[in-house]
Amino acid sequence: MSNPSLLILPGDGIGPEVMAEVRKVIDWYGDKRGLAFDVSEDLVGGCAYDKHGTPLHDDTMAKALEVDAVLLGAVGGPKYDNLDFSVKPERGLLRLRKEMDLFSNLRPAQCFDALADFSSLKKEVVAGLDIMIIRELTSGIYFGEPRGIFEEGNERVGINTQRYTESEIDRVARSAFELARKRGNKVCSMEKANVMESGILWREVVQKVHDEDYPDVELSHMYADAGAMQLCRWPKQFDVIVTDNLFGDLLSDAAAMLTGSLGMLPSASLGAPMENGRPRALYEPVHGSAPDIAGQGKANPIACILSFAMALRYSFDQGDEATRLEQAIEKVLADGLRTADLLGEDGVDPVSTAQMGDAVIAALDASL
């Protein structure tokens, strides 16, 4: 039986630095846990443009469609600001999402106890927070037609159309219920069924999917604006939240900042199952390419390492090993190690990107 395959796309800025630490973790799992991966590496973003004149070469796109999972670092930087829109680094990422049909965007909001003081909320509200927001990623108001800016009488009017089909709602709802079964078995669906017909359809389809195929999962419904308020009031009441593209964009950023450490958070974008049963999947940290610190060893690799933990859990059915990696990171933070972005205490010297990666490996060794 062949090893599962990973395509690594380090990208631009700090991407190669943080991905180098992920490679250490991948190698550790092969050496110490018998979890070997067939790893290949390629270019995306600005570095791909520099070499090929395009932010994503066709051959790289073909590889992404063949492997079991893609792990991406970051793309972009001021060097590429004046490029034509069609070849900007971000277009490479958007092409990956579109052609892999990654409709389910998983955005965790997890607060390690050692970093609870970084949140703007009270420590007891966020300490131990571990929720997941699933955002529908390929439809909704960002893609609906008609859209544009038009002349209407003596003034201009901007139009965007919120549009969802039953099948689009059905598949992201199933993604949420399946994920909930691996977590706390609880889903809250958020929309605006009180004022939007698309919200009415969303609620009806999610309820139907639940009643027919997932009656074992606890389901609740909440208006998205009330959900935003509840996220700030008591976020630990939630486990999995599923919502549309627009509300998911807003709610996931709000929830991420509850943790006080946006730059430490991973994400996953999942599509339909392939022939081997695994979903098409792209894993990436939420943070950007941070060109101002690239090459200086200051970047925090934890978000990228946690993205690999998500791959272990959701692509490779290695939930116990994902937990092992997350607990290793928690131990490192509890021991007081901090990269420069996490310094909040006087007298604490920052560790480098590589030192943080080495500390995670040491904590993994200690877990055996």
DSSP structure class, residue 349:
P
Residue 292 domain-assigned (yes or no): yes
| Residue 214 bears catalytic tag | no
Give residue-wise pLDDT tens across range 321-334: 999 999 999 999 99
pLDDT reported for residue 341: 87
Whether 168 and 249 share a structural domain = yes
Whether 274 and 368 share a structural domain = yes
Distance from C-alpha of 349 to C-alpha of 293, rounded to nearest angstrom: 17
- Percentage of the chain beyond pLDDT 90 is 83
Listed residues 207, 231, 258: the one ending a domain: 258
Q: With a cut of 90, say whether residue 361 has pLDDT above it.
A: yes
In the predicted model, what is the mean pLDDT of the chain? Answer: 94
Q: With a cut of 70, say whether residue 32 has pLDDT above it.
A: yes
If one compares 1 and 29, the residue with the highest pLDDT of the two is 29
Q: With a cut of 90, say whether residue 343 has pLDDT above it.
A: no
Which one of the listed residues 27, 101, 253, 317 is annotated catalytic?
A: 253
Q: Where are the beta strands (DSSP E) in 216-259?
A: 218-223, 240-243
| Residue 249 bears catalytic tag | yes
Residue 120 domain-assigned (yes or no): no
Which one of the listed residues 27, 142, 170, 208 is annotated catalytic?
A: 142
Please compute the mean of the pLDDT values over residues 267-287 and round it to a whole number.
93
Q: With a cut of 70, say whether residue 345 has pLDDT above it.
A: no
Residue 123 domain-assigned (yes or no): no
Please, are residues 22 and 304 in contact by the beta-carbon 8 Å criterion? yes
Q: What is the dihedral of CA 41, 355, 25, 8, to 10 degrees?
A: -20
For residue 182, give its domain range: 130-258
Residue 105 domain-assigned (yes or no): yes
Please compute the mean of the pLDDT values over residues 294-311 and round it to a whole number.
96
Please, are residues 366 and 331 in contact by the beta-carbon 8 Å criterion? yes
Listed residues 258, 283, 301: the one ending a domain: 258
| Residue 317 bears catalytic tag | no
The DSSP code sequence of 109-175 is: EE--GGGGGGSSS-HHHHTT-EEEEEEE-SSGGGTEEEEEEEEETTEEEEEEE----HHHHHHHHHH
Whether 15 and 134 share a structural domain = no
Which one of the listed residues 213, 225, 317, 358 is annotated catalytic?
A: 225
Whether 14 and 96 share a structural domain = yes
The C-alpha angle with vertex 286 and arms to 143 and 290, in degrees rounded to 5, equals 110
Residue 121 domain-assigned (yes or no): no
Give residue-wise pLDDT tens across range 56-113: 999 999 999 999 999 999 999 999 999 998 899 999 998 999 899 999 999 999 888 8
Tokens of 252: 């996931």
> pLDDT category, 116, cuts 50, 70, 90?
confident
Identify how many contiguous H helices and E strands the chain contains and give both numbers. Answer: 12, 12
Residue 27 domain-assigned (yes or no): yes
Whether 222 and 188 share a structural domain = yes
Amino acid identity of residue 49, one-letter, is Y
Please compute the mean of the pLDDT values over residues 346-360 and round it to a whole number.
90
If one compares 116 and 332, the residue with the highest pLDDT of the two is 332
- Return the CATH number at 144: 3.40.718.10
Distance from C-alpha of 49 to C-alpha of 92, rounded to nearest angstrom: 9
| Residue 253 bears catalytic tag | yes
Whether 183 and 268 share a structural domain = no
Which one of the listed residues 29, 42, 49, 192 is annotated catalytic?
A: 192
Residue 119 domain-assigned (yes or no): no
Whether 146 and 198 share a structural domain = yes
pLDDT reported for residue 128: 86
In degrees and rounded to multiples of 5, residue 297 shows phi and psi of 70, 20
Whether 267 and 254 share a structural domain = no
| Residue 225 bears catalytic tag | yes
Please, are residues 229 and 252 in contact by the beta-carbon 8 Å criterion? no
Residue 281 domain-assigned (yes or no): yes
> pLDDT category, 344, cuts 50, 70, 90?
low
pLDDT reported for residue 1: 72
pLDDT reported for residue 346: 61
Whether 159 and 135 share a structural domain = yes
If one compares 360 and 128, the residue with the highest pLDDT of the two is 360
Whether 143 and 253 share a structural domain = yes
Listed residues 258, 284, 302: the one ending a domain: 258
Distance from C-alpha of 45 to C-alpha of 56, rounded to nearest angstrom: 7
Whether 185 and 302 share a structural domain = no
Q: With a cut of 90, say whether residue 181 has pLDDT above it.
A: yes
- Tell me how many domains the chain contains: 2
Whether 234 and 159 share a structural domain = yes
